[in-house]
Structure 1
Amino acid sequence: MAIVKVTRNSQITIPKEVREKVGIKEGDRVDVTVEGDKVVIRKIEMEEITDFLPRDFEETMNKMRKDSRDRLRELGVIP
């Protein structure tokens, strides 16, 4: 067990031995969840990160393409 101090900005430092044990490096993402009275920090892999795109991404892209084509037609750039 490692005991760490919470800073004024509510930050903690994950001790080196813990980071090395689970392979957490600078720039990695971690998932922070609450299980009962415990805070669980889990390293996540890039494949698990999906929340940076909107759920309706494909629909949004199609709308953007149509809007772009319409605007280019209005400007006379495309027929």
Structure 2
Amino acid sequence: MRVTEKGQVTIPKNVRSNLGIEPGSEVEFLLKGREAVLRRVEPAQALVERSVQEFTDHLNRHKGSMNLGGMGGDEFYRLLRD
């Protein structure tokens, strides 16, 4: 199977059929060492996974940047609950 200049390949019909891939389906590639695994992703699952990843990235960008003004963690959580 050849890869085009744009990095595209045609997924063989038997693979598409077995994975339930139809036009408009979401797929993803998972890297496992030096291999790539193709899997179909449910649209709702893809949205949730993308949202979780975006939120995790957001948290990581701000990690350690909150100034609690000397307030301890327990005090802060109490403040959030009240």
| Correspondence for 1:11 | 8
Q: CA deviation at 1:9?
A: 1.0
The structure 2 residue matched to 1:46, chosen from 33, 43, 46, is 43
Equivalents in 1 of 2:46, 2:30: separation in Å? 15
In structure 2, list runs of 5 or more residues that go unmatched.
56-82
Q: CA deviation at 1:6?
A: 0.6
- Return the letter of the residue paired with 2:25: D
Q: Give per-residue Cα distances to partners, 1:20-65, cap 9 Å, x unaligned.
A: 111100000001121001111100012212226x64xxxxxxxxxx
More helix by share: 2
Query: What is the DSSP-based 3-state SS (H/G/I as helix, E as strand, rest coil) of the residue aligned with 1:34?
Result: strand
- Return the letter of the residue paired with 1:12: V
Under a length normalisation based on structure 1, what TM-score does the superposition of the two structures give? 0.57
1:26-37 superposed matches below 5 A: 26-37=23-34
In structure 1, list runs of 5 or more residues that go unmatched.
56-79
Query: What is the DSSP-based 3-state SS (H/G/I as helix, E as strand, rest coil) of the residue aligned with 2:3?
Result: coil
CA RMSD of aligned residues (A): 1.8
Q: Give aligned-pair identity as a percent.
A: 33
Please identify the structure whose Cα radius of gyration is greater.
1
Runs of 4+ in 1 over 2 A off after TM superposition: none
Under a length normalisation based on structure 2, what TM-score does the superposition of the two structures give? 0.55
